[in-house]
Structures are given as structure tokens and as C-alpha cells.
Amino acid sequence: MRVHDVSEATETIEAAPAKINLALHVTGQRADGYHLLETLVTFTVAGDVIRIRDADADSFSISGPFGDLLRAGDGGDNLVTRARDLLRDALVSTGQPARPVAIHLEKSLPVASGIGGGSADAAATLRGLLRHWHAGIDPQRLASLALTLGADVPMCLESRSLIARGIGEDIEPISDLPALFLVLANPLKAVSTPEIFRRLQNKANPPLPERKTGGWMDFLAQSRNDLQPPAQALLPEIGEIAGMLSQEDAGLVRMSGSGATCFGIFHSFEAAQKAETSLRERHPGWYFQATRTI
């Protein structure tokens, strides 16, 4: 199932769903330093939103609970404006117009939190602009463009359940992963992805297990996130937040990506909502969000 989006005459709205690494195995490292991964990824209803309108000149603005953590204004090293500029260059090179746009980001996901916030925003910008500009681009070229923005952007461009290999560019869609009810939890302390990989002692770990007849939960129980131990050593709150999710009777608790967001899988959305309420009462200054997968 693809991301739902809405287009209006004056505005294009594109969802930027949170990316959840249900499992993440680090299987090697290339000569250029990039790490090789095998990861089972899904996406949630919770996420950011990109809004695009025609304008006299390009502009970029941000709102939302985590908007103040990002630098508003056009240009710089923002993935949204980089995605806009790269796509425009690609389209203009094929003779397609790409008029100026005002892009607004509603930032609801924590920053640098292991759930693909910036990558999801960049991918949503690419999807949204293609619709807004009524433009087309070769899928392979679009995938290559996405990869130049970051290893997670091709996955977020898909925004559906998948297994990704390599550095994230080798994508295998998954059609039978059931809907999952999650609580996302983050202590609102960022961790450095390069530092987590630097602390990872073994860079050549076993790949994802073979999926057998037991189903996806058995598959998940046999898998892991190889980045969780070094991340937890760097930020002890990750262990604390994982323990809190377990105390709320989550069926499986794990860190996503390089952290610091952890997720708990619950048997129903109502159970996830109840756990979110309980967790917020215990730590009102942390991020908790009950959601479901797309």
C-alpha cells in the first residue's frame, strides 16, 4: 500500500512517513567506508508533511513541534531544498519546466532520531514536486538521485514495507507484512550515526535470518539491530526507554536505525494508545507516539 496523498489546485500535500527499521544487520564494510546492511523496514502513519505551492521565487519554511530544531530559510544543507534543486536540474536537463515553489515542512518527527525524518522529508519532496510540476523522470535516475541525498532516501521514496541491502539502494518490496501497532519512544537526545558505527566492534555480522513458516513475528524474534548495543552504551537512556516499553507489555521492543528512537509492537492500536498515555505520564518531556504501519 502506497502513501496516501492529496492534491489541490493551489497546493500539493505529500506525507513523509516515519521509517522504522524492524531489524538492522550490519554485514560488512566497503573499501570507501560505507557499511553494508540488511534491514527490514516499514513505515508508519506518524510522520512529517510537505506542502508545496507555486511562488514568484523559491522559499522554504518549517513549523511543527520539532521545527525549531531545524534552520528555516532557503538553501544551506537542508535535505528538502537539496532535493528540490537536484530534481529541478534533472528535469530541466530533459526539457521539462520546474517553476519556483514555496515548500513548507510540518516537522512532527524528532530530529536525528533513527526513524528517517530528514530522509523521509527529502523523499516526500521528490514525490510531491513530481506531482506538483506534472513531471516525469526515469525511475532509475530518480533512485540514483535519491541515493545522492542519503542512503535512507531510496527506501523513503518507496515508503512501503521492504528489505534493503547494500548501502540501502538494493530494495526488495514486501507485500505480506501485516499491519503493526507501535509506540515510538525517544528521550529527545540525539546520537551521532557516524559515532555509533565507529563504536560497532564487529562490522561483518550474520545476515537477516531466512523467513520460514512461523511468520513475521518469529522472523523478528530471530533478528536484531546491530547498532543498538553501541548506541545504548553511548546513550543509556536508550536502555531505559526500551525497558519502559517492555514494562507496558510490548510484544517486541527494539531500537530503530542508529537511535535513539525505540519502538514497541503491541497487539492492538488501543493497547498502543494506552501505553503511550502511561509513558507520557512517566516522562512528560520525552517523545511518545502511538501509531500503526502503512
Residues known to be catalytic: 19, 152
C-alpha 211/C-alpha 135 separation (Å) is 39
C-alpha 164/C-alpha 138 separation (Å) is 21
Other C-beta atoms closer than 10 Å to the C-beta of 77 total 7
C-alpha 122/C-alpha 168 separation (Å) is 15
| CB distance 75 to 120 below 8 Å | no
C-alpha 191/C-alpha 172 separation (Å) is 28
Q: Which residue type is seen at 149? A: L
| Residues whose CB falls within 8 Å of the CB of residue 31, separated by 6 or more in sequence, listed in order | none
